[in-house]
């Protein structure tokens, strides 16, 4: 009879401290959102507080600003994700399956826009939004992101790899191209659609630069813009700033923890295919 | 009712055939790609040309612009503030790119094993990357706050005098590099972890049988096999570094004493704070050409790799 001792890998000695180092700032963010300003103003600052306070959260959740920004961020993210799923699928399917004049040229042009940096398109885009009377509205945050070149590329690659026989069977039964896309191809494309949804949500929720340029009115801010503005105005009320920070980070972190595989697939897809 | 429906589809079918014979699938296809064409080409290809024209003009975004020839491009050569922004951006890039890639590779190699808690370690290292840069910046503004921050509190306990961190012109840029590393090493880790799964086991085993040490296998088999991914990451991280904006905005807004003004932040100031849109477009164009050049090199390299495996 042999006694098996669970052997603890020596790798933990290196990995555990590093992982803690990456996680610790978040712990500090959460803890300090439950402190009072008096606790934070002490020198040297408290690290583990003796009592918990809700003032910071009351400022953030009880005020008009953060709930509104949360709503704005949600509207922009939801509309952008849905429109990307629909429009990228349509375009990706057309480029993968339909034969039409100009398809190669248009597809290459769309592909080429992947390497165009935002800095050269932002000024004209700002003027276009102004002329469309969209500047300073949520529309200005949605319209330029309704469909993305990466999404079109991703969906095209996926549809190209689907077996064509099922679609042909549906075509012979008299199904239109739209019918085939909706009832045959898209249900098979769920993994690609999940990848696209995760990436689009992440980018939309976290975006700071473009909303900062195109939105001026407080009530139309999204969370990242609101958060940085709030911090500038309330730099002594750190508990409230940290509560707002938790609120901004939470949806992305929760979505990530729930669907880690999908998120990781969407992040690595840029390296493997882009 | 049923009979009626079937005759009407039967009547419609030849009609569709006729249309398809004449036009092929052109109408359907163009309907499918119309949203993508309007948005992507309309808001990228058109602005690319528009920006180029704008860079030869003087414009404040609102009133009518007028032509200034090459004046914007001549001015940017002599702009000392732009020179400083370029210098800050290059310092950031030169430190951020190699450090994030080396740390990412090291951590990926350490995380590429089946031990307990490995999932937790991977998650903790990746989470900073997925939260908004605004969140990272605001969080570390607090941690590195001169008076209330936990960083000075720790230094105090160690008997080290308080530091200015983001308020100190000689430290701020390096603190921003540190925050950027915390926020993006996770990306390099997952890319390398994914690539490590594709390194053929037989190659490593063959090297080990031939008497190579663990380091030998790592140095002569694993790392060369990862070369295409390393090239991708070098280009990707360089593009990210040269386009640094969010983190600067969320921490220092270019201060203190303009010690953290980077190129894209300078373009933002010129275009949307000082309303020198033509000049901003000229700077953006020069930067964009560098960025596009880098991307093109990556694409050429990839093609070459495929042709010469």
Q: Report the distance separating Cα B48 and Cα A125, nearest Å.
A: 10
Average pLDDT of adjacent 10-residue blocks, chain B of 309 residues: 43 57 78 96 94 94 89 95 97 98 97 92 96 97 90 89 94 98 96 92 88 89 93 95 97 94 97 95 96 92 84
Query: Is any Cβ of chain B less than 8 angstroms from the Cβ of A203?
Result: no
Length, in residues, of chain B: 309
Window 215-274 of A, Cβ < 8 Å to B: 223-225, 227-228, 231, 238, 241-242, 245, 248-249, 252-253, 256-257, 260, 263-264, 267-268, 270-272
B305 in contact with A, Cβ within 8 Å: no
DSSP A32-93: HHTS-HHHHHSSSPPSS-SS---HHHHHHHHSSHHHHHHHHHHHHHHHHHHHHHHHHHHHHH
Between CA A85 and CA A107 the distance in angstroms is 18
Partners of residue A222 in chain B, C-beta under 8 Å: none
B134, A101: Cβ pair inside 8 Å? Answer: no
* Chains A, B: CB pairs < 8 Å: 280
pLDDT digits (tens, 9 = 90+) for A50-105: 889 999 999 999 999 999 999 999 999 999 999 999 999 999 999 999 989 889 99
Chain segment A132-150, per-residue pLDDT in tens: 999 999 999 999 999 999 9
Complex ipTM value: 0.92
B212: closest CA of chain A, how far (Å): 22
Q: Output the pLDDT for position B19.
A: 61
For residue A270, pLDDT beyond 90: no
- Mutation test of the interface with chain A: which of B15, B40, B227, choosing the one with the most A Cβ atoms within 10 A? B40
B16 versus A210: the higher-pLDDT residue is A210
Stretch 74-93 of chain A: residues touching chain B, C-beta under 8 Å: 83, 87-88, 90-91, 93
At residue B170, the pLDDT reads: 96
* CB B250 within 8 Å of CB A208: yes
In this predicted model, which residue has the larger pLDDT, B173 or A273? B173
* Token code pair at residue B29: 């296809």
Q: pLDDT value at position B205?
A: 87
Q: Cβ separation of B134 and A29 shorter than 8 Å?
A: no
Nearest CA distance, A53 vs chain B (angstrom): 17
CA A87 to CA B22: how far, in whole Å? Answer: 27
Chain A residues within an 8 Å CB radius of B127:
22-23, 26, 253, 256
Burial of A175 (0-12, 13-18, 19+ CB in 10 A): middle
How many C-beta atoms surround the C-beta of residue A152 within 10 A? Answer: 30
Chain A contact for B44, CB < 8 A? yes
Q: Please report the pLDDT score of residue B308 as a whole number.
A: 81
Instruction: Please tell me the predicted confidence (pLDDT) of residue B13.
Output: 54
Q: How far is A201 from chain B, CA to nearest CA, in Å?
A: 11
A98 in the Ramachandran plot: left (φ > 0), alpha (ψ -120 to 50) or beta? beta
């Amino acid at each position: 009879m042999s006694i098996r001792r669970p052997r603890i890998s020596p790798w933990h000695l290196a990995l555990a401290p590093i992982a803690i180092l990456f996680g610790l700032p978040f712990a500090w963010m959460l803890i300090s959102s439950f402190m009072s300003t008096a606790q934070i103003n002490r020198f040297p600052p408290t690290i583990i507080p003796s009592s918990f306070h809700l003032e910071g959260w009351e400022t953030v959740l009880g005020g008009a600003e953060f709930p509104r920004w949360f709503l704005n961020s949600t509207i922009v993210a939801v509309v952008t994700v849905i429109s990307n799923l629909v429009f990228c699928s349509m375009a990706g399917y057309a480029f993968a399956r339909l034969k039409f004049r100009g398809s190669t040229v248009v597809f290459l042009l769309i592909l080429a826009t992947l390497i165009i940096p935002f800095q050269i398109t932002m000024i004209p885009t700002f003027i276009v939004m102004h002329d469309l009377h969209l500047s300073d509205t949520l529309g200005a945050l949605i319209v330029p992101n309704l469909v993305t070149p990466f999404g079109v590329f991703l969906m095209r690659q996926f549809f190209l790899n689907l077996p064509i026989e099922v679609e042909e069977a549906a075509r012979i039964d008299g199904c239109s191209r739209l019918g085939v896309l909706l009832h045959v191809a898209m249900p098979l494309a769920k993994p690609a659609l999940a990848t696209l949804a995760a990436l689009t949500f992440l980018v939309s929720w976290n975006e700071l630069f473009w909303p900062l340029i195109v939105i001026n009115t407080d009530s139309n801010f999204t969370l990242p813009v609101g958060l940085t503005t709030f911090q500038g105005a309330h730099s002594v009320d750190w508990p409230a700033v940290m509560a707002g920070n938790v609120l901004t980070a939470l949806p992305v972190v929760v979505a990530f923890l729930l669907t880690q595989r999908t998120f990781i697939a969407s992040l690595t897809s840029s390296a493997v295919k882009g | 009712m049923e009979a009626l429906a079937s005759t009407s589809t039967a009547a419609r079918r030849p009609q569709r055939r006729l249309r398809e014979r004449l036009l092929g699938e052109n109408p359907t296809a163009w309907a499918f790609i119309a949203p993508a064409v309007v948005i992507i080409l309309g808001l990228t290809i058109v602005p690319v040309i528009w920006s180029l024209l704008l860079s030869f003009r003087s414009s404040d975004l609102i009133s009518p612009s007028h032509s200034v020839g090459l004046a914007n491009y001549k001015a940017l050569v002599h702009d000392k503030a732009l020179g400083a922004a370029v210098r800050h951006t290059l310092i950031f890039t030169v430190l951020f790119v190699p450090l994030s890639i080396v740390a990412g590779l090291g951590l990926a190699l350490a995380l590429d094993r089946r031990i307990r808690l490995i999932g937790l370690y991977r998650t903790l290292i990746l989470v900073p990357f997925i939260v908004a840069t605004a969140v990272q910046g605001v969080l570390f503004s607090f941690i590195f706050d001169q008076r209330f921050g936990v960083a000075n509190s720790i230094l105090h306990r160690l008997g080290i005098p308080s530091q200015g961190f983001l308020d100190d012109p000689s430290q701020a840029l390096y603190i921003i590099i540190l925050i950027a590393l915390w926020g993006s090493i996770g990306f390099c880790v997952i890319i390398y972890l994914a690539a490590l799964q594709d390194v053929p086991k037989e190659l490593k085993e063959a090297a080990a049988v031939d008497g190579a040490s663990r380091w030998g296998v790592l140095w002569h088999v694993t790392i060369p096999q990862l070369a295409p991914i390393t090239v991708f990451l070098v280009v990707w991280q360089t593009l990210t570094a040269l386009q640094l904006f969010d983190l600067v905005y969320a921490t220092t807004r270019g201060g203190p004493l303009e010690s953290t003004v980077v190129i894209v932040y300078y373009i933002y100031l010129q275009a949307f704070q000082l309303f020198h849109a033509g000049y901003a477009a000229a700077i953006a164009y020069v930067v964009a050409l560098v960025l596009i050049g880098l991307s093109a090199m990556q694409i050429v390299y990839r093609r070459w790799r495929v042709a010469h495996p």
